[in-house]
């Protein structure tokens, strides 16, 4: 393992006992808990991960630019219907609140473009684009309009920095949180208007209980829980966590151990197989001297290493959330990963209440490996982000067909990850595979008996796994040249199989229509 991976592992491991400490703090402080502890833990984690940026941070802090930053904060980019944006920021009298905000601002100084992009995203969603763009320009010191170039230029800068390689999920998760928060705030105001006009309580489940202040937004966006790997969680989930009345009485140790029980196995498999099949060997000239079947099998091993790595990381991240009590809701609330409760649930005071942590579940390892379809495989992988994509991106796609909507969603997902060409080559292969499996299901599986359908499903599962093996190579090789060189070494087999399946499906579909007409 590289030094960066060891640091990453140490921080991830430390977040689990820290979570139990936060349970105690929340239980002791009660609903009036200040966010200082959350911010302090964040700064401690960041200072050990981004040492060089911390030094730059103190240099920039001495320039006296803090007052200008705080003036930019008060521009009101995150408010929709408030005359005075973020009054809590000016009137807050919480003990140590100024110190915590100053500490978090220090962190923001070393990630200025991240903050500007996050604010820009929220402003777009909240119809404050012009006002927010001015704030973003002030933050990074530009004197010309940014839209629509700013998100693109931000990712160019981000992809070129070493910190992106060390912890690339942090800015991506923050962007997702800002888009989600903008939608939540907008829904909050629409619900309030509806309640006033109809004199009835809004039927929306899981909506905001209050409009967050800027201080709340900062605390939520850079909360230590899941800061390295996710999972994504909505602002209301974060607020519910801090408002838990008796967190020490909620389940913690048992579900935490349950989530961690397979992590040593995943970790051991990751280290072992990675040592035998290193990714870098794919780029070597002698790799092409091996026979076709060896080159084909190599992507199977690489994707296995990829899965074991993320299984370990995400199970550990979920354990960190569980230990802190984040995302703990009654089972009767029917929570969804990322979204939280889906029904209003009032437990019987005389009955024992069962809880779950579905809200922060980010991976279903078994179903990821053994589900049959490509589209189902996406549902069980990075589940909280899949909820975000399905909730905010997929419904707004400018297409009607499922395959095209999936393509649009995958394009946004690739853009969210960064600008490496491998992301786009991989993500945009998914719609092709979905179209292929849809065509084959409609033209062949639908006409088979029970035994035939079972055989079809096994073949479908095998091809699904090979498709993900194939697409994983673009995700890990990153460069267009490396990805295409590898795919060409196995003759673009998955692309060819997918196109053939679509063609066969269309031919059989056309033949069936002709028979019905006759």
pLDDT in tens, 474-497: 999 999 999 999 999 999 999 999
**pLDDT per residue over 433-467, tens digit each?**
999 999 999 999 999 999 999 999 999 999 999 99
Mean predicted confidence (pLDDT) in 237-250: 89
Query: Is residue 201 very low, low, confident or very high in pLDDT (cuts 50, 70, 90)?
Result: low
| pLDDT(239) > 60 | yes
91 vs 53 pLDDT, higher one: 53
**What is the distance between the alpha carbons of residues 418 and 61, in angstroms, rounded to a whole number?**
29
Query: Is residue 352 very low, low, confident or very high in pLDDT (cuts 50, 70, 90)?
Result: confident
Query: Is residue 235 very low, low, confident or very high in pLDDT (cuts 50, 70, 90)?
Result: very high
Please report, for the chain, the start and end positions of each structural domain, with discontinuous segments joined by +: 34-221, 364-518
The reported pLDDT for the residue numbered 114 is 43
The reported pLDDT for the residue numbered 40 is 52
Identify the weakest region by mean pLDDT among 68-82, 116-130, 328-342, 449-463. Answer: 68-82
Query: Could you give the count of Cα atoms lying within 13 Å of 302 in the half-sphere of its Cβ?
Result: 24
| pLDDT(51) > 90 | no
Average pLDDT, the chain: 76
CA triple 275-280-282, angle to 5 deg? 105
The reported pLDDT for the residue numbered 143 is 39
The reported pLDDT for the residue numbered 452 is 95
The reported pLDDT for the residue numbered 494 is 97
Going through 213-334 in order, the beta strands assigned E by DSSP cover 329-330
Burial (CB count within 10 angstroms: exposed 0-12, middle 13-18, buried 19+), residue 205: middle
**pLDDT per residue over 380-413, tens digit each?**
999 999 999 999 999 988 888 877 888 899 999 9
Non-local (6+) Cβ contacts of 149 within 8 A are none
| pLDDT(153) > 50 | no
Indicate if the alpha-carbon torsion angle 135, 141, 147, 153 is positive or negative: negative
How many of the other CB atoms lie within 10 Å of CB of 454? Answer: 10
| pLDDT(179) > 50 | yes
Query: Could you give the count of Cα atoms lying within 13 Å of 316 in the half-sphere of its Cβ?
Result: 24
**What is the distance between the alpha carbons of residues 109 and 105, in angstroms, rounded to a whole number?**
6
């Amino acid at each position: 393992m590289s030094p960066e991976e060891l640091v990453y592992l140490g921080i991830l491991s430390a977040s689990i006992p820290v979570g139990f400490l936060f349970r105690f703090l929340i239980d002791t402080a009660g609903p009036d808990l200040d966010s200082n502890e959350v911010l302090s833990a964040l700064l401690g984690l960041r200072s050990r991960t981004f040492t060089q940026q911390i030094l730059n941070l103190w240099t920039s802090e001495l320039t006296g630019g803090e007052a200008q930053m705080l003036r930019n904060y008060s521009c009101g980019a995150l408010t929709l219907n408030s005359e005075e944006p973020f009054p809590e920021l000016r009137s807050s009298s919480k003990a140590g609140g100024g110190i915590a905000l100053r500490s978090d601002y220090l962190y923001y100084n070393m990630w200025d473009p991240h903050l500007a992009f996050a604010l820009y995203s929220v402003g777009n969603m909240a119809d404050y684009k012009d006002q927010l763009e001015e704030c973003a320009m002030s933050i990074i010191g530009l004197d010309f309009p940014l839209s629509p170039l700013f998100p693109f230029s931000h990712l160019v800068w981000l992809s070129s920095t070493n910190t992106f390689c060390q912890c690339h999920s942090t800015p991506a998760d923050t962007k997702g949180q800002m888009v989600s928060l903008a939608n939540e705030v907008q829904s909050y105001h629409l619900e309030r208007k509806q309640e006033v006009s109809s004199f009835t309580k809004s039927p929306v489940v899981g909506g905001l209980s209050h409009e967050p202040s800027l201080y709340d937004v900062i605390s939520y966006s850079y909360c230590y829980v899941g800061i390295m790997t996710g999972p994504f969680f909505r602002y209301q989930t974060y607020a519910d966590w801090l408002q838990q009345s008796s967190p020490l009485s909620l389940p913690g140790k048992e579900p935490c151990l349950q989530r961690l029980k397979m992590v040593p196995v995943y970790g051991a498999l990751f280290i072992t197989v990675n040592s035998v099949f290193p990714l870098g060997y794919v780029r070597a000239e002698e790799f092409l001297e091996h026979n076709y079947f060896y080159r084909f099998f190599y992507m199977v091993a690489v994707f296995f290493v990829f899965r074991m790595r993320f299984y370990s990381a995400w199970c550990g991240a979920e354990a960190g959330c569980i230990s802190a009590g984040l995302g703990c809701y009654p089972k009767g609330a029917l929570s969804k990963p990322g979204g939280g409760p889906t029904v209003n649930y009032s437990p019987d005071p005389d009955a024992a209440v069962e809880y779950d942590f579905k809200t922060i579940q980010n991976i279903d390892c078994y179903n990821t490996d053994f589900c049959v379809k490509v589209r189902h495989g996406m549902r069980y992988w990075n589940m909280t982000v899949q909820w975000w994509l399905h909730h905010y991106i997929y419904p707004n796609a400018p297409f009607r067909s499922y395959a095209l909507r999936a393509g649009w969603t995958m394009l946004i997902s690739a853009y969210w990850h960064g600008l490496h060409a491998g992301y786009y080559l991989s993500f945009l292969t998914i719609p092709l595979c979905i179209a292929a499996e849809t065509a084959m299901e409609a033209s062949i599986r639908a006409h088979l008996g029970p035994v035939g359908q079972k055989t079809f499903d096994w073949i479908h599962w095998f091809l699904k796994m090979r498709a993900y093996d194939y697409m994983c190579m673009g995700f890990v090789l990153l460069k267009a040249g490396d990805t295409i060189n590898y795919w060409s070494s196995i003759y673009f087999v998955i692309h060819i199989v997918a196109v053939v399946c679509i063609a066969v499906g269309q031919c059989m579909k056309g033949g069936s229509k002709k028979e019905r007409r006759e």
